[in-house]
Amino acid sequence: MDIDNVEDLKLPQAVITRLVKEALPPGVNVSKEARTAIARSAAIFVLHTTTYANEYALAHKRKNVTAEDVFHAIKILECEELEKPLMEAMEAFKVQRLNRLEARRRRSAANATGSGNEDDNTQHEDESDEFEEAAEHNEAGNGEEMGSDNESNHE
């Protein structure tokens, strides 16, 4: 992906607003201009982190960026204070992913035996299963890959 302009990097405003609200005490208002500045700063940080992580992966003769590469980039960017929260978030994500996978397997087993004990949330869970299947496919082998589009983007 070629980026000629920082303006091309847009993060969803709703996500930025939610993250800002979660980070601040209740009752604190943030102007639209401040949210825009935060969104642009976050986009630039993501771009720099991804660039360094990709360079590290390529130096190790890999086309896919892994979590190890991202943590290396965080060190290069001198943001070591982010390592612990990122590691904790990554571990929480893995636990959540495993729990969902186990729940999906239990549902599949129950459906195969014809028990008919499906939750009301089955349709919602099935929609999220598509994401999980894609994530599982991307993680085949290494378990830490950050996306499957990386190979096609580098060829």
What are 32-43's pLDDT values in tens digits?
899 889 998 999
- Domain of 147, CATH number, reads 1.10.20.10
Output the pLDDT for position 61: 96
Q: Tens digit of pLDDT for each residue in 96-143?
A: 999 999 999 999 988 888 755 545 445 445 445 544 554 444 444 444
Cβ burial of 86 (10 Å; 0-12, 13-18, 19+) is middle
Residue 1 domain-assigned (yes or no): no
Residue 83 domain-assigned (yes or no): yes
| Residue 149 dihedral angles phi and psi, to the nearest 5° | -75, -10
Output the pLDDT for position 152: 38
Q: How many domains does the chain have?
A: 1
Measure the CA angle with vertex 61, ends 60 and 66; round to 5°.
65
